[in-house]
Amino acid sequence: MTANSPAAAAAFAAPPVDQRRAVVALIALSVSAFTFVTAENLPGGLLTLIAPDLGRSTSEVGLLVTAYAAVVVLASLPLSRLTRRFPRRWVLAATTAVCTVGTLWSAVAAGYVDLMAARMVTALGQALFWSVVTPAAASLFAPAVRGKMIARLAIGNSLAPLLGVPLGTWVGQQAGWRTAFLVFSVVSLLACLAMAIAMPDVDAEQSGTATGTHPSMRRFVVLMVVTVLLVTGGFMMITFVTQFLLETAGFPDRYLSALLLGQGAAGLAGTLLIGQVLDKRPWQTVLVALGLLTGALVLLWSLGHVPAVALAGLALFGLAFSAIPPALSFLSMQVAPGATESATAISSSVFNIGIGGGAALGALVVATVGIDTVPLVGAFFVLAALVVVAVDVRIAARRTAMPHADVPGITPRRP
């Protein structure tokens, strides 16, 4: 059966399971992603509430986020390999249950050390969740639409900074920071139950998601390099965006929530838009998004002192940055040189390295040069990622043009 035969085309478009059940499962997975990302970043929004209540400095409370990311970096690949023989449905339900327990534990923590322990447990659940969720979600749908569905899964990620952290911060201000963790523990529990009930059991081998469809160690390494460069540059800006808006753009404090809400809304739009093109031109999509992100950072550096331009640059930044992670997840599944879950585990670890590196480098730039320079330094990292992708796409195009070339990582043409 050839790649262009009617039978192959039918298999490419055929859903592997009942699609109504698959959509319910995808929603549950997206809600779980929303809860994990919110739980990871919630201490940042509750910083000034947790610190005095536990008798700690704000920098010590900030370590709750740093240590969380460190656990995800270290635990993703080992946990993925330890659980690879278990059904994905129950592994994902178990990780969400860990999030439920961890956030509930955070709500009743007796002190700083107890809260740190609760955070570490939650981080273990997140490490495994991100290792398996993308291949598991992709396996529920036909190969022809998997990129779109991965982008829809990422809606939960986009909603976390747009809705989750602001909502958690507001609840904390109204009813105490412990109540905020309790609320998201309930949300996580509901996602866990929905996942356990609705998610079909799909064999990864039969669905074609157990290994890369076009395995290539070279292209996988390219993706990891792009990921660390992109996230480092992007999180330099994300970490210090509030300070930039106040000191450089000159916005009053009272507008911050609305400005960040606008950035989050643009990010949600980017996640929705990329799903429309990701299945057809994934590499080119990454190129365009990286170009837009570079342009947004340069705009913020050069004209960020003009409030209207800063607002436009912030929206463009949110749109472009949120579009790239779903594309990288989709591509890592395609070019994974071995098991896709190992590839996504490594990708998750690299992403979190970029988060930590971006925050640390941004702090260094602010301390030595000033907040105005942060977008420019971030733009250099994103531009480097753009160059890496452009060179790789050019190499792949040359190999495709060679007669009888077998080019890994290039999706075969479908009728």
User: Rounded mean pLDDT of the chain?
Assistant: 83
Both tokens of 122, joined, read 């939650």
CA distances from 360 to 63, 167, 297 (A): 12, 27, 18
Question: Over the chain (415 residues), what is each successive 10-residue block's mean pLDDT?
Answer: 52 63 89 89 77 79 79 86 85 92 92 90 91 86 84 84 80 88 93 88 66 84 93 86 84 78 82 81 89 95 92 90 86 83 85 84 86 93 95 83 52 40
pTM: 0.79
**Residue 53 identity (one-letter amino acid):** D
Sorted by sequence, the CB contacts under 8 Å of residue 299 that are 6+ apart come out as 309, 312, 313, 316
Distance between CA 243 and CA 146 in Å, rounded? 38
Distance between CA 381 and CA 333 in Å, rounded? 24
What percent of the chain is modeled with pLDDT above 90? 27
Sorted by sequence, the CB contacts under 8 Å of residue 248 that are 6+ apart come out as 304, 305, 310, 371, 372
Both tokens of 250, joined, read 């000159």
Length of the chain in terms of residues written: 415
Give pLDDT, residue 413: 39
Distance between CA 401 and CA 111 in Å, rounded? 63
The DSSP 8-state label assigned to residue 1 in this structure reads -
3-state SS of 200-269?
CCCCHHHHCCCECCCCCHHHHHHHHHHHHHHHHHHHHHHHCHHHHHHHHCCCCHHHHHHHHHHHHHHHHH
Distance between CA 80 and CA 344 in Å, rounded? 9
What pLDDT digit, counting tens, does each position of 103-153 carry?
Answer: 999 999 988 899 889 999 999 999 999 888 888 888 888 888 888 888 888
For 414, list phi and psi in degrees, rounded to 5: -110, 150
Give pLDDT, residue 279: 78
Give pLDDT, residue 411: 45
Helix axes 19-45, 47-54, angle to 10 degrees: 60
Give pLDDT, residue 414: 40
Give pLDDT, residue 204: 60
CA distances from 291 to 90, 220, 273, 385 (A): 40, 21, 16, 10
CA distances from 280 to 147, 276, 283, 289, 290 (A): 9, 9, 9, 15, 18
DSSP 313-363: HHHHHHHHHHHHHHHHHHHHHHH-SSBHHHHHHHHHHHHHHHHHHHHHHHH
Pair 30, 152: CB distance under 8 Å: yes
Distance between CA 96 and CA 104 in Å, rounded? 12
Distance between CA 217 and CA 303 in Å, rounded? 41
Sorted by sequence, the CB contacts under 8 Å of residue 374 that are 6+ apart come out as 236, 237, 240, 244, 362, 365, 366
Give pLDDT, residue 299: 95
Give pLDDT, residue 409: 44
